[in-house]
């Protein structure tokens, strides 16, 4: 039999409506709802119609980008319980109403956690149309999807013809033989994530970081105004053969690639490839990714494994923080007890960059912030806000950067760490930090503090 014909026949035999597909879901089931931009809209809408028919169905995903209809249909959470591996904007707002729970994770361990501890009754995922070889592509999301597909008892795919074909790597596709039901959805456009507007502080911090980036460096960037500034500065620089190995691929990567600067020619692994585990941005990014052999999508247990990160030389990892204390503990995911983000890959990349030959793991933050009443506070504090979660332990932290400078923490005593941090705090708060350090019995050599 002609193989291509047999793939089409198998596809047609599994093709059904969203309403029919979700009938396999029973009370007590645990579901996977996909990642980031690949939210299964038609399947979610169909499942919401079954609210009164099922109870205690746990739904997990990574960084929901749309409010699930199942939540709107069941605000009492008697029928569906929503959980998120990364507390993005949608989940953060839902959590404030007690409608979503965060699942703490060290990102590179995600697939292994799924395989060791998850019971997955069904994976509901959005994919590209099937190709002539019988494969669907998972588009710009690859971090744990393949692990969930492998573990799931049933796999339902929702086809969207707007999904770009993102090459790998591995884990970026699944075959029709792995699928139980095919649903042709409404082809919604992928989430558009416009670039954040950088602050004046972002530009100053970016200047410090640019001094640390040299020809052949391999960079990791995240989301926000600062990464956008750094990407723009690299694209406009005379740097050569910059590499890319990062959990997230964003629009600024397109600028660096098209400028001929991000070639990856000096990388030790995945040479000439831009390696990532998920991508979010605008259509410009998705069009850049489509069938582009320069980009390689991998599961997160490859991309974020500190051992893999460290195989490239001169890794420059750039991450943001919420606050840091004088013991050099970094909080990047909570405001006190309020979860505002997830651990993500920050710890992974700080570890990996340190073990990279010539590598530098950088934690960046503006020295101050304003509260809702307009009162200015220091982000460098004597101790973390009560209830704040430590994202990067003091024993792991390497570089800290504010608009007042960059300091390195390794091989420094608690005295010297406090002293260095006070040097890069906002001048208006330095005296109070010195006083607090003395009260906590951290000798800061306060006579050396910059006036």
Residue count of the chain: 451
Q: Which of 325, 319, 327 is nearest to 347 (CA)?
A: 319
Is the Cβ–Cβ distance between 116 and 93 less than 8 Å? no
Task: Look up tokens 């000798």; give the residue.
Answer: 443
132: annotated active-site residue: no
Q: What is the 3-state secondary structure (H, E, C) of 155-172?
A: EEEEECCCCCCCCECCCC
Q: How far apart are the first and last CA of the chain?
A: 81
b/e for 33-49, b at 16 or more Cβ within 10 A?
A: bbbbbbbbbbbbbbbbe
Distance CA 33, CA 136 (A): 17
User: DSSP class of residue 178?
Assistant: G
Q: Which of 35, 45, 158, 247 is catalytic?
A: 247
How far apart, in whole angstroms, are the C-alpha atoms of residue 231 and residue 93? 29
Strands 368-370 and 376-378: antiparallel
> Both tokens of residue 207?
């200047």
Residue 83 CA to residue 102 CA, distance in Å, equals: 6
- 407 three-class SS: strand
Among all residues, which ones are annotated catalytic? 247
């Amino acid at each position: 039999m002609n193989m291509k014909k047999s793939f089409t026949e198998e596809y047609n035999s599994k093709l059904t409506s969203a309403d029919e597909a979700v009938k396999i879901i029973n009370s007590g089931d645990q579901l996977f709802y996909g990642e980031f931009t690949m939210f299964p809209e038609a399947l979610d809408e169909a499942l919401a119609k079954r609210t009164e028919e099922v109870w205690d169905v746990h739904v997990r995903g990574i960084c929901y980008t749309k409010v699930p209809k199942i939540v709107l249909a069941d605000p009492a959470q008697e029928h569906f319980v929503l959980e998120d591996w990364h507390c993005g904007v949608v989940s953060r707002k839902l959590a404030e109403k007690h409608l979503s729970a965060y699942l703490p994770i060290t990102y590179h361990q995600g697939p292994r956690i799924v395989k060791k501890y998850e019971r997955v009754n069904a994976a509901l995922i959005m994919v590209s149309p099937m190709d002539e070889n019988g494969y669907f592509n998972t588009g710009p999301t690859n971090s744990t999807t393949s692990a969930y597909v492998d573990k799931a008892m049933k796999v339902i795919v929702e086809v969207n013809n707007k999904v770009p074909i993102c090459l790998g790597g591995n884990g970026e596709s699944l075959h029709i033989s792995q699928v139980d039901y095919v649903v042709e959805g409404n082809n919604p456009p992928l989430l558009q994530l416009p670039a954040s507007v950088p602050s004046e502080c972002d530009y100053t911090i970016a200047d410090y970081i640019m001094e640390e980036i040299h020809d052949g460096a391999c960079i990791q960037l995240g989301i926000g105004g600062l990464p956008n500034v750094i990407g723009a500065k690299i694209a406009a620089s005379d740097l050569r053969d910059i590499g890319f190995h990062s959990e997230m691929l964003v629009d600024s990567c397109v600028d660096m690639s098209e400028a001929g600067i991000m070639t990856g020619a000096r990388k030790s692994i995945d040479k000439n490839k831009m390696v990532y585990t998920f991508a979010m941005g605008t259509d410009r990014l998705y069009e850049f990714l489509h069938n582009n052999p320069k980009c390689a999508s991998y599961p997160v247990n490859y991309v974020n494994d500190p051992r893999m990160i460290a195989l490239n030389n001169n890794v420059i990892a750039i991450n943001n923080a919420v606050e840091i204390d004088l013991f050099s503990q970094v909080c990047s995911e909570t405001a006190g007890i309020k979860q505002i983000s997830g651990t993500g890959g920050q710890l992974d990349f700080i570890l990996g960059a340190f073990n990279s030959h010539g590598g530098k793991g950088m934690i960046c933050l503006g020295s101050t912030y304003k509260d809702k009443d307009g009162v200015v506070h220091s982000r460098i504090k004597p101790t973390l806000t009560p209830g704040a979660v430590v994202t990067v332990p003091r024993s792991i932290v390497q570089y800290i950067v504010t608009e007042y400078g960059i300091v390195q923490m390794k091989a420094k005593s608690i005295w010297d760490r406090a002293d260095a941090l006070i040097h890069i705090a906002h001048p208006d708060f330095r005296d109070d930090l010195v006083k607090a350090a003395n009260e906590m019995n951290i000798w800061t050599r306060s006579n050396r503090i910059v006036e």
